[in-house]
Amino acid sequence: MATYSVKYNNSKQKEFLSTLRQEIKNYFEKNNLTPQADSAMWFKVFFWLFAWLGSYLLIVFGNFSPFWLLITAFFHGFTHLFIAFNISHDANHNSISRNLTVNRILSYSLDIIGVNSFLWRVSHNDEHHNFLNIHELDNNINGFGVMRFTTDDPLKPIHRYQHIYAILLYGLSTINYVLFKDINLMRKASIKGIKVPKIEWVKLIAFKLFYYMYVFVIPVLYLNIPFLYVFATFLFTHFFVGLSLAYVFQCGHVNEEMHIPEVKENRVEDAWAVHVLKSTCDFALDNKALTWLTGAINVHIIHHLMPHICHTHYTALAPIVKKVALDYGIVYREKKTFWEAIVSHGNWLKAAGTSEKVAFE
């Protein structure tokens, strides 16, 4: 959790953000739409919750052979990922409904898949969104000494191989979340004197027990499946879920065009909105399947500029953002395909692992 803060030079480039907001407002008014969930979004909410519950009921009552049980469990694991992408992310940004209670209820979709929504809002909303790509403030570029995402971190010999072992660490990322990370974050917050409401401790423990119950206890006791088989399936599924989650999120910020702002006297030279465009990259905008499955996280620039807008509007809004940015002489960063974004991410990791400073031509 952040230990200091920075300010942006919002006296500069003010017209860009005000113009963009007016253009976005005009789009919604012209099309008689609201920035919150449309019918497509509500379909996704019910679809993924039903897929999560339905696939689990098949695991419990399907009487499958070990092979088909593994396949069903693998699919069920990926419903966790798609719930996080398509429901939890928006709900925790309060972008699904104008009613905050509705958003808060849907935000618990994250808790039922093993991740604490309260801590996620602190880590993602307060730190990542406010301090994008800023050393020691943006948790998404904190490599804990093992990874070197930013050249502000010290270079270690092990980093020479980080573009290779990143695959293993990314695969373990969601396992860490559901087993250790939330509890460690809550404990560290208490040590630092950060006041955590007691109810959040209660919800953390209750939802973790609920998660462990349906993931481990019921398959072992009710289905009489050996624990080692259940745990191996858990590890196998989480590895690919974690890998997918990490690449989707990291490709939006950590790539060959990665912008690491210089902080002087706790200030960033650019206005906040310009900093967002310098530090964020869209990818695979023409890939409708990827956009649908990932909750349009690949359409990432508009999300960081206006996270209160529901993601089902992003593909229509991205061209507006691009046009306004170009009108003001601001570069709009974009990779044509997901694979191109993954390669660019790997190239950055390789370069950052071997050089004190990184510069791509």
Give yes or no for a contact between 138 and 127, defined as CB atoms under 8 angstroms apart.
Answer: yes
Rounded to an integer, the average pLDDT of 351-358 is 87
pLDDT tens digits for 127-185?
899 999 998 888 889 998 999 999 899 999 999 999 999 999 999 999 999 999 888 88
pLDDT tens digits for 15-70?
999 999 999 999 999 999 999 999 999 999 999 999 999 999 999 999 888 889 99
Question: Does the pLDDT at position 216 exceed 90?
Answer: yes
Rounded to an integer, the average pLDDT of 341-361 is 87
Label residue 360 by pLDDT band (50, 70, 90): low
What percentage of the chain exceeds 70 in pLDDT? 98
The alpha carbon torsion through 143, 148, 154, 159 (nearest 10 deg) reads 120
What percentage of the chain exceeds 90 in pLDDT? 78
Indicate whether 104 belongs to any domain.
no
Indicate whether 318 belongs to any domain.
yes
Instruction: Return the bridge partners of 289, or none.
Output: none
C-beta atoms surrounding 232 within 10 Å: 12
**Helical (H) or strand (E) element with 296:** none
Indicate whether 38 belongs to any domain.
no
Rounded to an integer, the average pLDDT of 239-263 is 93
What's the confidence (pLDDT) of residue 5?
79
Q: What is d(CA 174, CA 235) in angstroms, rounded to the nearest whole number?
A: 10
Cβ-based neighbours of 324, under 8 Å, separated by 6 or more:
16, 19, 20, 23
Indicate whether 251 belongs to any domain.
yes
pLDDT tens digits for 308-331?
999 999 999 999 999 999 999 999
What's the confidence (pLDDT) of residue 126?
85
Question: Does the pLDDT at position 220 exceed 80?
Answer: yes
Tell me the three state secondary structure of residue 308. coil
Question: Does the pLDDT at position 3 exceed 70?
Answer: no
282-283 vs 334-335, strand pairing mode: parallel
The pLDDT mean for the chain works out to 93
Dihedrals phi, psi of 199, to nearest 5 degrees: -65, -30
Question: Total structural domains in the chain?
Answer: 1
Indicate whether 325 belongs to any domain.
yes
Rounded to an integer, the average pLDDT of 343-360 is 88
The long-range contacts involving 147-154, CB below 8 angstroms and separated by at least 24 positions, are 147/349, 148/349, 148/352, 148/353, 149/254, 149/349, 149/352, 150/258, 150/260, 150/352, 151/260, 151/352, 151/355, 151/356, 151/357, 151/358, 152/260
Question: Does the pLDDT at position 359 exceed 70?
Answer: no
263-264 vs 267-268, strand pairing mode: antiparallel
What's the confidence (pLDDT) of residue 1?
54
Question: Does the pLDDT at position 246 exceed 90?
Answer: yes
Indicate whether 33 belongs to any domain.
no
Q: Which region among 24-38, 182-196, 213-227 has the lowest average model confidence (pLDDT)?
A: 182-196
**Greater model confidence, 192 or 308:** 308
Please state, in angstroms and as integers, the Cα–Cα distance from residue 138 to each residue in 14, 209, 294, following that order.
24, 29, 22
Q: How many residues does the chain have?
A: 361
What's the confidence (pLDDT) of residue 361?
43
Indicate whether 143 belongs to any domain.
yes
C-beta atoms surrounding 284 within 10 Å: 21
Q: Which of 248, 275, 297 is nearest to 93 (CA)?
A: 297
Indicate whether 147 belongs to any domain.
yes
- In a 10 Å sphere around its CB, with 0-12 CB exposed, 13-18 middle and 19+ buried, how is residue 32 labelled? exposed
- Residues of the domain holding 332: 118-352
